[in-house]
Amino acid sequence: MAADQNRLKYTLSEDQIPAQWYNLAADLPEPPPPPLHPGTLQPIGPEALAPLFPMALIGQEVSQERDIPIPDAVRDIYRLWRPTPLYRARRLERFLDTPARIYYKYEGVSPAGSHKPNTAVAQAYYNKEEGITRIATETGAGQWGSALALAGSLFGLEVDVYMVRVSYDQKPYRRALMESYGARCVASPSAETAAGRRILAEHPDSTGSLGIAISEAVEMAAKRDDTHYALGSVLNHVLLHQTVIGEEALAQLGQTGDYPDVVVGCTGGGSNFAGIAFPFIGAMQRGGRKVRVVACEPAACPSLTRGEYAYDFGDTGHLTPLVKMHTLGSEFIPPGFHAGGLRYHGMAPMVSHLLHLGLIEAVAYHQVECFKAGVDFARVEGVLPAPEANHAVKGAIDEALKAKEAGEASVILFNLCGHGHFDMQAYADYFAGRLTDQSYAEADLQAALAHLPKVA
Amino acid sequence: MAADQNRLKYTLSEDQIPAQWYNLAADLPEPPPPPLHPGTLQPIGPEALAPLFPMALIGQEVSQERDIPIPDAVRDIYRLWRPTPLYRARRLERFLDTPARIYYKYEGVSPAGSHKPNTAVAQAYYNKEEGITRIATETGAGQWGSALALAGSLFGLEVDVYMVRVSYDQKPYRRALMESYGARCVASPSAETAAGRRILAEHPDSTGSLGIAISEAVEMAAKRDDTHYALGSVLNHVLLHQTVIGEEALAQLGQTGDYPDVVVGCTGGGSNFAGIAFPFIGAMQRGGRKVRVVACEPAACPSLTRGEYAYDFGDTGHLTPLVKMHTLGSEFIPPGFHAGGLRYHGMAPMVSHLLHLGLIEAVAYHQVECFKAGVDFARVEGVLPAPEANHAVKGAIDEALKAKEAGEASVILFNLCGHGHFDMQAYADYFAGRLTDQSYAEADLQAALAHLPKVA
C-alpha cells in the first residue's frame, strides 16, 4: 500500500489547533448593514445586547480585527475532539467515476456529533469569565441544545434548554443527551416564563415553535442577573467561532498539494457553512486563488434562493433586533422536512451579505435527493451523515458530476457537519418510502414576505 | 498552553496502522482446550467449519503464528477511521483527584460507533476473497449487525441480519442504520428458515432470542453455497482482529513514556477486551513488564465471576461445537438490563483460558453504578459511552480511586469501545429513575449449570 499516494486522512496534532478565529469582516469591500433596534429602527449599540451576552462576545460581534485570539481555555477543550480529520473521499470519487478530487472535513467526531460545540464551548467560556452561572437557550431538533449542554458541563455552568414541545415529545433521545450533560431541558411553551404562560393560556395544547422557545430563553436571560442567552447560529460571533473548521482545512489541504476550486456547505442559519467557507473567501479577498463557494439549502425553506434581502426580525415573536438578511419572512412556516437544523426563515446577515456581494452562490435541494446522496455516501465512505449534512453531500456530488461531464479534475471541498446517529427516524422513513419532497405554498411565502417590517 | 506537558490525544498516521494482528496463542504456556463436535464430543477439524467460514478464517482460528499479516485491502478500509485516538483522561483524573494517570483508547470513531467493524471488515474481506457473495448473521442489540452491514457495503457483499424480534421492534434505529448500509434486516424467528418456522408454528408471537437468530443465520449459511456465516465475538479469529486496538495503544503509549500497570476492558463475548488486553498480556509473557488485566462484566450475566469453566454450547439451540469456557449454562436467561452486548451466557474460550491460567482478573458490576460512572465520565471527558463501555469506565474509575487511597501514581489503560448515541433510551431510563439493578435467581443459575453437557 503506497500510503502517501493513496492517503485518505489528513490530520493535525492538537498543538496545530488554530490560535485565532478568522474574522471575514476585516477583508470585505464593505461592511454588512448594521442591526437595528426593533422599536426605533436605529442602529443599536453594544449596550443593548449586554443583558443577553457577555461583552467579549458583543465585541466579537462588531469587531473589524482579522484575527481574534482563541483563549487557551477554549483551545484546551477543543483538544477533546479537534483538530477534526480532513478526508479525501477516494471511494466516493471512484463510485462517481469522476476526475474531481473530493475532500471533506468531518465535524461529527465531536462528543455531540456535530460542529455546534465549536461555538458552544467559546460562548460558555466567555460567559463563565464574566461571572455568569447559567445560560438559557432554545433548541429545535436538539443539536444546539446538546452542544451547549456539553459546553456547560465542561465549564461548570448551568444550562436551561427550552425545547420546542413537539421535538421534546418526539425526540426523547436528544433530551436524554442534554440531561447526560447535566442540562435542564424544559418543554416550550412552559409555565416558567411570561411568554410561555401567555401562549399556554390561549393554547394549552400548543406544540411550540422555535420563535416561542427563543422568547422564553431571552426572557429568562433578561430578567436574571446570573443568566445569559446563547444562540447557536446566525450571529457574527457564532460564525466566527466556526472558522476553526476552515482554518484547519487550509492547513490540512496544505499537506495535499491541492487547493479547492469549489467549497460547499449546507445552510440553515449559516454557521457551519461560514466555518468551512469564510477562511477561503478571505484568502481570495486578500489576493489568493479564486474559489467558487456554494451554499446548499433545503428547497422547502429556501431563504437564499427565494427569500428577499431585507431587514427582518430574527424570531417570530419580534423581540430581537432587525438584521438585514435573506429572509422568507418571520411568519413563514416551512413545511415538515427532516433537517431540523435548516428550518430557519432567515440566513445569517454575514452569509446574506456575501450573496449580495456576489461572493457566494446558492442552490436549493429537495430532501429525497439529499437522502439518496447521503446513503450513497455512507455506503462508500462509511459515515452516515446528518440530514442537514446530506445537502452538502448532494452539492459536492453534483459538482463532481459536473467535473466529470467537463472532463475537469476539479478540487471540491465540503463540510460534513455531523453524523446521523440521532436522526435515524428520518432514515427509517426514507427507507420505508414515507419521505416525500415538501413544498411550501407560493401564496404563503408571498404573504409572509408582504409582512416584512418597513425600513426606510 | 504547554502542549506537550498537557497533551490529551496521542494519534498515529494512517501508515502506522499495525501491519499484523497479534495472536496471543503463540505466547501462552499451554493452548486452550480444543472445540468438540456436538455429536461425537471429539475435537473437530477445520473441515467441519468450512460450510460456515472461509478457510483463511478457519486457519486463523487454530493458528499458532504470533503475527498474522493484515491484508492490504483490510488496512485500506481501516484507514477510514483508524488509527483511533488514545486519550489521556486528564479531566477525569482531576475530577477524581487521583494521582493515577488514566488513558483510554476510543473506538467510537468508527462509522458504526464501536469496535465491531475491526473484525467485520476482515471477515467480509476473506469471504469476498473466497467467492462468497452473501453473509448471514444474527444481531441482538444491533451493534454487530450494523458493523457487518457497513463491512458488506464496503466490499460489495449482501448481508442478511437476523435480528431478535424484540430488538427489531424496540430498536428501529439500529435497523435503519443496517438498511442505510444496504443490509437486509429480518425479524427472527422468521419464516425464511426451518428453524424459524418451527418456532413460529409453536409460538406465533415469539419475541425471539439470540439462540434462535444464530440458528437461522447458520441454517442459511449451511444450505446456500454462496452464503457464509459470521460471528461478532467469542471465536479466536474475531478476538485476533480486535488486537489492532491494543497494538495501536502500545505504539501510542510509547509517545507518553508511560506503560500501564493495569489494563481494563468490559466483557460480553470478550472481543473488545481481547483487543485492548492481548498485546499487553503477550508482551508480559515474552518477558515484558507485569501488567494486571481486569475484565469488567455485568453482575446480571456474570460468566467469568460466577460461571463454571466447562465445555458448553455456544448457542441455546445446541447447533454449535462445544467450547471450554466460563459459562452460566446455555439455558441461562439473564434478567433484562441495558447492555445488550454483554448479555451472553458464555465467554470467549481464549479469555476463559486466561482467567483459568491466572493471567487476568474479573469483576462484576451492577448497571446503575455503571451508568453513574458513564455520566460522570461524559461530563468531564465529553464522550457519552455505550452502556457496555460504562462497565470499563467503572472499572477504570475504581482502579483510579484505589490508587488515590494508596497514594500511588498508577497508570491505567481502558478501552472505550463505543459511544452511546444509539443507546439513549437506556440513559433516558436512568435519568427517569426507571433503571434498577437486576439480579438473576440463584436457583435459575444452578439449574442452568446442572444442564451443562457431560464431557469426560
On whether the pTM is more than 0.90, the answer is yes
**SS3 per residue for chain A:** CCCCCCCCEECCCHHHCCCEEECHHHHCCCCCCCCECCCCCCECCHHHHCCCCCHHHHHHHHCCCCEEECCHHHHHHHCCCCCCCEEECHHHHHHHCCCCEEEEEECCCCCCCECCHHHHHHHHHHHHHCCCCEEEEEECCCHHHHHHHHHHHHHCCEEEEEEEHHHHHHCHHHHHHHHHCCCEEEEECCCCCHHHHHHHHHCCCCCCCHHHHHHHHHHHHHHCCCEEECCCCCCHHHHHHHCHHHHHHHHHHHHHCCCCCEEEEECCCCHHHHHHHHHHHHHHHCCCCCCEEEEEEECCCCHHHHCEEEEEECCCCCCCCEEEEEECCCCCCCCCCCCHHHCCCCCCHHHHHHHHCCCCEEEEECHHHHHHHHHHHHHHHCCCECHHHHHHHHHHHHHHHHHHHHCCCCEEEEEECEECCCCHHHHHHHHCCCCCCCCCCHHHHHHHHHCCCCCC
Residues A219 and A228: beta-carbon distance below 8 Å: no
Contact assignment for A176 to B424 by CB distance below 8 Å: yes
Q: Is pLDDT of B38 > 90? A: no
The confidence score (pLDDT) of residue B5 equals: 66
Place of cell 496544505: A254
pLDDT digits (tens, 9 = 90+) for A379-409: 999 999 999 999 999 999 999 999 999 999 9
Considering only CB atoms, which chain B residues are within 8 Å of A153? 378-380
Range of A205-214, A277-286, A428-437 with top mean pLDDT? A277-286
Write the residue in A4, A79, A172 that is nearest to B8 by C-beta. Answer: A79
Q: What is the mean pLDDT of chain A?
A: 94
User: Cell numbers at residue B267, please?
Assistant: 466483557
pLDDT digits (tens, 9 = 90+) for B442-454: 999 999 999 999 9
Average pLDDT over residues A362-378: 97
User: Cell numbers at residue B153, please?
Assistant: 457495503
Average pLDDT over residues A302-323: 90
d(CA A435, CA B419): 28
Which of A408-422, B265-279, B433-447 has the weakest average pLDDT? B433-447
Which of A202-211, A441-450, B106-115 has the weakest average pLDDT? A202-211
The confidence score (pLDDT) of residue A342 equals: 80
Task: Find the helix packing angle between B117-129 and B143-155, rounded to 10°.
Answer: 40
User: Cα distance from B137 to chain A (closest Cα, Å)?
Assistant: 19
Q: Is pLDDT of B3 > 50? A: no
Query: What is the three-class DSSP state of B411?
Result: strand
Contact assignment for B177 to A384 by CB distance below 8 Å: yes
Helix (H) or strand (E) holding B59: helix B55-62
Contact assignment for A427 to B176 by CB distance below 8 Å: yes
Write the residue in A1, A150, A173 that is nearest to B72 by C-beta. Answer: A1
Distance of CA B369 to the CA centre of its chain: 21
**SS3 per residue for B89-148:** CHHHHHHHCCCCEEEEEECCCCCCCECCHHHHHHHHHHHHHCCCCEEEEEECCCHHHHHH
The CA-CA-CA angle for residues A54, A59, A60, to 5°, reads 100
d(CA A384, CA A421): 8
- The amino acid occupying position B67 is D
d(CA A316, CA A331): 6
Considering only CB atoms, which chain B residues are within 8 Å of A109? 109
Q: Would you tell me how many other CB atoms lie within 10 Å of the CB of residue A195?
A: 24
Strands of B238-354 (E only): list them.
262-266, 292-298, 308-313, 322-327
Query: What is the three-class DSSP state of B260?
Result: coil
Contact assignment for A384 to B180 by CB distance below 8 Å: yes
- The amino acid occupying position B347 is M
The confidence score (pLDDT) of residue A154 equals: 98
Residues A9 and B14: beta-carbon distance below 8 Å: yes
Residues A214 and A315: beta-carbon distance below 8 Å: yes
Considering only CB atoms, which chain B residues are within 8 Å of A7? 14
User: Cα distance from B377 to chain A (closest Cα, Å)?
Assistant: 10
Average pLDDT over residues B150-171: 94
Residues A90 and A394: beta-carbon distance below 8 Å: no
Torsions phi, psi for A67 (to 5 deg): -115, 125
Q: How far is CA A237 from CA A350, B207, B251, B253, in A?
A: 10, 53, 40, 39
User: Cell numbers at residue B5, please?
Assistant: 506537558
Average pLDDT over residues A353-368: 97
For chain A, what's the residue count? 456
pLDDT band at A3 (very low <50, low <70, confident <90, very high): very low
d(CA A286, CA A66): 11
Burial of B322 (0-12, 13-18, 19+ CB in 10 A): buried
Instruction: List B263's β-bridge partners, or say none.
Output: B293, B413
Query: Given the DSSP bridges, would you call strands B134-139 and B101-106 parallel, antiparallel or unpaired?
Result: unpaired
Considering only CB atoms, which chain A residues are within 8 Å of B175? 428
Write the residue in A8, A81, A172 that is nearest to B79 by C-beta. Answer: A8
The confidence score (pLDDT) of residue A52 equals: 94
Q: Which of A421, A423, A430 to mutate to test the interface with B (most CBs of B within 10 A)?
A: A421
pLDDT digits (tens, 9 = 90+) for B334-346: 887 777 778 889 9
Size of interface A-B (CB pairs under 8 A): 133
Contact assignment for B172 to A79 by CB distance below 8 Å: no
pLDDT digits (tens, 9 = 90+) for B280-337: 999 999 999 999 999 999 999 999 999 999 999 987 778 788 999 999 998 888 887 7
Q: Would you tell me how many other CB atoms lie within 10 Å of the CB of residue B97?
A: 9
Helix (H) or strand (E) holding B392: helix B387-406
Considering only CB atoms, which chain B residues are within 8 Å of A81? 382
Residues B378 and A111: beta-carbon distance below 8 Å: yes
Considering only CB atoms, which chain A residues are within 8 Å of B11? 11, 13
pLDDT digits (tens, 9 = 90+) for B383-433: 999 999 999 999 999 999 999 999 999 999 999 999 999 999 999 999 999
Dump the DSSP string for B21-40.
Answer: EE-GGGG-SSPPPPPB-TTT
Considering only CB atoms, which chain A residues are within 8 Å of B95? none
N-term to C-term CA, chain A:
65
pLDDT > 90: percent of chain A: 86
Q: Which of B384, B390, B435 to mutate to test the interface with A (most CBs of A within 10 A)?
A: B384
In this prediction, does ipTM exceed 0.90? yes
The confidence score (pLDDT) of residue A451 equals: 92
- Choose among B48, B93, B187, B152: nearest CA to B397: B93
pLDDT digits (tens, 9 = 90+) for B205-240: 988 888 889 889 999 999 999 999 999 999 999 999
pLDDT digits (tens, 9 = 90+) for A246-258: 999 999 999 999 9
Q: What is the mean pLDDT of chain B?
A: 94
pLDDT band at A5 (very low <50, low <70, confident <90, very high): low
User: Cα distance from B252 to chain A (closest Cα, Å)?
Assistant: 13
Q: Is pLDDT of A331 > 90? A: no
